[in-house]
Structure 1
């Protein structure tokens, strides 16, 4: 029995069913948390040093690098049971959708810096807080909602398999995750 199977076996049935039904959202959120930390490390490294006067450029660079990491983690883990598209088509859709997400995430920073000129009116400590709120709270919420919807709809669509029956079998303990048939979930 795997660690995840063991944890699920000890989880109350209603919570287990909820977790299994929303497993993609949970995994997507975990990937998002990981890439957010990666994104923040790069953004602050750039925006507090060589791109101090250009935070939007720093955000686009960090967002682009985090997007590459996100593709690998989402493809291989969060949405591994989805597919139906050629890999190059899927990757193109993922990066177009994620590019739109990077723009959505950078929009609050762009507005604050170009319409309200906050860089010339705030201390470094205040800028760190402002950048965090605009880029990582407001911006991430905007792009996360958009990307989760668009990735499931366009880049990683459901295949012909009956995923609901598989989830119900997992939730009721009739089959364990290790025993689940990946083809039944649409794995390529």
Structure 2
């Protein structure tokens, strides 16, 4: 019986399949990230309009911390498929702490350096600025940083950390032979 991934690939146009298979780690990472983006948005909005109404940076930080835990489990078990041994959890924590900082900096700049907040702008403009700076720009920059750092330092074997190379499970493409 084919796996869910194989069933999904069967529905993708044939010309895209080699690209998706070759970059499967990135594709899985982006799928996990998409789900966590939605979860972060829901938690952030709930917090901003309830208990943390006047603390948008704190609300985004809490939402990001919660979804970082979800991201760890999904990335470890599915996207990067590691056994969880070694310094992985500590490295993930360090990378995630840095990424959370990267994620909230655009929101803090928008709110407090650019004064895109009430009374300087309307409530609607404030919320649009918060979403674009914190959820879109911050998440995008943090996502790029996380993928690079996770692949480089966190979800690797000790051998890969010492000698990074091609993703396991794939043979190098054959070089064309010169035909006389």
Flag structure 2 segments of 5+ consecutive residues without an equivalent. Answer: 161-166, 174-180
Give the distance between the partners of 1:38 and 1:162, measured in 2 at CA.
Answer: 31
| TM-score calculated relative to the size of structure 2 | 0.81
- Check if 1:115 corresponds to 2:113: yes
Alignment length, in residue pairs?
A: 164
Structure 1 runs, 4 residues or longer, greater than 6 Å off: none
Q: Rate the CA distance shift 1:116–1:156 in 2: closer, same or farther, 3 A.
A: same
Which residue does 2:134 correspond to in 1? Answer: 135
| TM-score calculated relative to the size of structure 1 | 0.78
Q: Rate the CA distance shift 1:6–1:142 in 2: closer, same or farther, 3 A.
A: closer
2:116–2:125 Cα contact (<8 Å) kept: no
Equivalent positions of 1:37-186 (< 5 A) are: 37-80=38-81, 82=82, 85-86=85-86, 89-120=87-118, 121-157=120-156, 162-165=168-171
Q: Deviation digits for residues 22-66 of structure 1, max 9, x if unmatched?
A: 111111011111111111111111112222221111111111001
Give the distance between the partners of 1:104 and 1:90, measured in 2 at CA.
Answer: 21
Structure with the bigger percentage of helix: 1
2:61–2:104 Cα contact (<8 Å) kept: yes
Give the distance between the partners of 1:163 and 1:118, measured in 2 at CA.
Answer: 49
Flag structure 1 segments of 5+ consecutive residues without an equivalent. Answer: 169-188
1:84–1:157 Cα contact (<8 Å) kept: no
| Superposition CA RMSD, Å | 2.3
Q: Name which structure has the greater RCO, CA cutoff 8 Å, separation 6+.
A: 1
Q: Rate the CA distance shift 1:125–1:162 in 2: closer, same or farther, 3 A.
A: closer
Shift of 1:117: 2.4
Give the distance between the partners of 1:9 and 1:47, measured in 2 at CA.
Answer: 41
Q: Deviation digits for residues 109-153 of structure 1, max 9, x if unmatched?
A: 111122122222223322221111101111111101100000000
Give the distance between the partners of 1:76 and 1:104, measured in 2 at CA.
Answer: 25
Q: Rate the CA distance shift 1:83–1:150 in 2: closer, same or farther, 3 A.
A: farther
Give the distance between the partners of 1:110 and 1:37, measured in 2 at CA.
Answer: 21
